[in-house]
Amino acid sequence: MNILLIGSGGREHALAWKLADSPLCGTLYCAPGNAGTAEVGENVALDVADHAAVIAFCRLMQVGLVVVGNEAPLVAGLVDDLTAAGIKAFGPTAAAARLEGSKAFTKALCDEVGVPTAAYRRFDAVEPALAYVRERGAPIVVKYDGLAAGKGVVVATSVAEAEDAVRAMLGGPQDSVVKEDSLVIEDFLEGEEASFFAICDGTTALPLASAQDHKRAFDGDEGPNTGGMGAYSPAPVLTPALEARVMAEIVNPTLAAMRARGTPFVGVLYAGLMIGPDGAPRLVEYNVRFGDPEAQVLMPRLRSDLVETLLCACEGRLDEVALAWLGEAALVVTLAARGYPGTYEKGSEISGLERAAALPGVRIFHAGTTREGGRVLATGGRVLSVVGLGADVAQARERAYAGVDAIDWPAGFCRRDVGWRALAR
């Protein structure tokens, strides 16, 4: 069947590569795609915010499955409109996507069904929020309620920093999708973060492999939060026993609650977790799609047919699926434009990609790139995902950084300590 993949980042290149590998995949279209997706499919200049145009394209090109990679189209209801038009789409409806589209919605649901998470309050006015920050003290976490491209969270180490975040956020990020002018303030959770993913069909949740992300921009977990500067899989902190607890205490109760509300969740449920000093998992937040950069380490490790799995999710047949994984570890390093996640320049040339990709165990996924003639140019903040595969995290890390060092891009930077928690164990 012909497939349309929505998105343009490293996650989408990883998904495109895996989708194209399926014998069920005919022509793969990527909207808008990047220089990497063009190597495995056909990039199309489609305005994904124009749902009527997406539907018309699917009918014209006889698309049998649409896979929505990023969160904004999900929150905007693209899956709803595709489904109403009789086009199969993998991803949650707008009502179910509120699990990511509104932090306050998710927190209220956690209270309702007893999912363990940090204590919180929602605010839509500055002064009450400032009073709450002063009452609770620091460290404390301030989150914009809607979508903010992974950068709407401030982990404040002082009351003054939290106050500044409150004043900034209640104006709303300029590029946010949900402009509710509200925020959530929650207690700081001690422990180790981890990412847990499950593919859901509304009733059944099928766990994927574990991963651990690196959100801060710089080594030592310093600097501002980003969309993700690296990841590895599997994550040693998520033992089989702990994964079973996450399913029983967090994922399954959430799935049941969404179904009971009449808004069953179909898609990828991505639970950002904090594993406390007591060993107990707590939910930090939900996302409603594959992670980025976690998809870049999950897809190379997945042996099963991704297209078949996504079709089973769309059709409520996940109870028929058993996923198979490579025994190898994977680690990805994000190459980003200098200045990211703040202001950065576009248009710089990247070379050495073929040299890097030829190294043993190295795979490169594109994110913010375009191709002009024979040149690859940087067009975004996070630009490349350099993945290493190896017998363990240490070997995967060595190979990933060998790939990074083979790339010539003076305008870029990366963290040099991706995987440090796993190696310290």
Compute the distance between CA of residue 48 and CA of residue 348 in angstroms, rounded to an integer. Answer: 27
Compute the distance between CA of residue 356 and CA of residue 358 in angstroms, rounded to an integer. Answer: 5
Torsion angle of the four alpha carbons 371, 46, 337, 286, in this order, in degrees rounded to the nearest 10: -140
The domain ranges of the chain are 2-91, 125-181, 192-320, 329-424
| CATH class for the region spanning 192-320 | alpha beta
Which string of DSSP letters, residue by residue, matches 360-402? TTEEEEESSEEEETTEEEE-SSEEEEEEEEESSHHHHHHHHHH
Whole-model pTM: value is 0.93
The pLDDT score that the predictor gives to residue 171 is 65
| CATH class for the region spanning 125-181 | alpha beta
The pLDDT score that the predictor gives to residue 177 is 40
The pLDDT score that the predictor gives to residue 424 is 87
Sequential pLDDT tens for the chain (425 residues)? 999 999 999 999 999 999 999 999 999 999 999 999 999 999 999 999 999 999 999 999 999 999 999 999 999 999 999 999 999 999 999 999 999 999 999 999 999 999 999 999 999 999 999 999 999 999 999 999 988 766 688 899 999 999 999 998 886 444 444 345 799 999 999 999 999 999 999 999 999 989 999 999 999 999 988 989 999 999 999 999 999 999 999 999 999 999 999 999 999 999 999 999 999 999 999 999 999 999 999 999 999 999 999 999 999 999 999 999 999 999 999 999 999 999 999 999 999 999 999 999 999 999 999 999 889 999 999 999 999 999 999 999 999 999 999 999 999 999 999 999 899 87
329-424 CATH, one of 3.90.600.10, 3.40.1440.60, 3.40.1160.10, 3.90.1310.10 = 3.90.600.10
Q: Burial letters for 52-78: b for 16+ Cβ neighbours within 10 Å, e otherwise?
A: eebbebbeebebbbbbbbbbbbbbbbb
Residue closest to 336 by CA, chosen among 224, 241, 183, 206: 224
The pLDDT score that the predictor gives to residue 54 is 98
CB 137 within 8 A of CB 303: no
- The values of phi and psi at residue 321, to 5°, are -105, 135
Is the preceding omega at residue 173 within 30 degrees of 0, hence cis? Answer: no
- The values of phi and psi at residue 367, to 5°, are -130, -90
Tokens describing residue 209:
């492999």
CA distances from 279 to 196, 245, 257, 274 (A): 15, 11, 25, 9
The answer regarding whether domain 2-91 maps to CATH 3.40.50.20 reads yes
Residue 127 amino acid letter: E
The pLDDT score that the predictor gives to residue 179 is 40
Residue closest to 170 by CA, chosen among 145, 190, 188: 145
Element (H, E) at 271: strand 266-275
The pLDDT score that the predictor gives to residue 277 is 94
Torsion angle of the four alpha carbons 337, 342, 343, 349, in this order, in degrees rounded to the nearest 10: 10
